[in-house]
Every structure is written in structure tokens, then in C-alpha cells.
Structure 1
Amino acid sequence: MSLSSHLQELKKKHQNLSTAVEEMQRSPGVDDLHVAALKKQKLRIKEEITRLSGHPN
């Protein structure tokens, strides 16, 4: 898998997690621990995207 396609996959996963978190937070009786886990996963993906893109932030 090329770096470009890997980055695209990571960005897609990041967007899917963003959507899932937003939907969960709008739902009544949301599991805060599950939302927190998704947010951590989202952050790890964002950090990987940044690292692979060569950006300092």
C-alpha cells in the first residue's frame, strides 16, 4: 500500500469516527466510556496522519 493510499484510509477512518462520536453524543443514555475510547482512537489516527504527512503539528 502506498503512503498516499494509507493516508487516505486513515483520513477516512478519522472521519467515520468523528461521525460516530457526534451521533453517539446526540443520543440519550450515551456510554461516556465508549465515546471517550472512540475519541482516543480518533486522536491516535490524527497523530498518525500528522506524522506520516511530515507536519510538525
Structure 2
Amino acid sequence: MAIDARIRELGNRHRNLDETIQQEMTHPSADSLRVRELKQQKLRLKEEIRTLEARLN
């Protein structure tokens, strides 16, 4: 069950990062470096989620 909880936590963080990225991109003066870093964080979370899901199967 600890893995399930971790997956949910990472999923929430992934969604929050997605919202943050969308908000950042709506600004005319969006910081492209910040957006890139946020996207990289989001990708790392997605990869960790996939790894954990694979352990459940």
C-alpha cells in the first residue's frame, strides 16, 4: 500500500506542476528557463510513477 500512496502523491505533484506550467505560459513575459525546468521536473515525476506502477504489476 505504501507504493500506491506514493504514486498518488507523485500524481498530485505532477498535476500541480502541469497547472504551474500552464499559468507560467499564459504570461507574456514567461521565463522560458523556468518553464523548461518545470517540464523536466514533471517528466522525472512521470518516470518515477511509471517505475512504481511497474513494481505493482
Residue 45 of structure 1 pairs with residue 45 of structure 2: yes
Structure 1's unaligned 5+ residue stretches are none
- In the aligned structure 2, how far is the partner of 1:15 from the partner of 1:25? 15
The number of equivalent residue pairs is 55
Separation in structure 2 between the aligned mates of residue 10 and residue 52 of structure 1, nearest angstrom: 10
TM-score by length of 2: 0.91
C-alpha displacement of 1:28: 1.3
Point out where structure 2 has 5 or more consecutive residues left out of the alignment: none
Aligned-residue offset at 1:38:
0.2
Q: Which has the higher helix share?
A: 2
Runs of 4+ in 1 over 2 A off after TM superposition: none
- RMSD over equivalenced CA pairs, Å: 1.5
**TM-score, normalisation: structure 1:** 0.91
CA apart distance, 1:47: 0.3
Report the identity percentage: 38
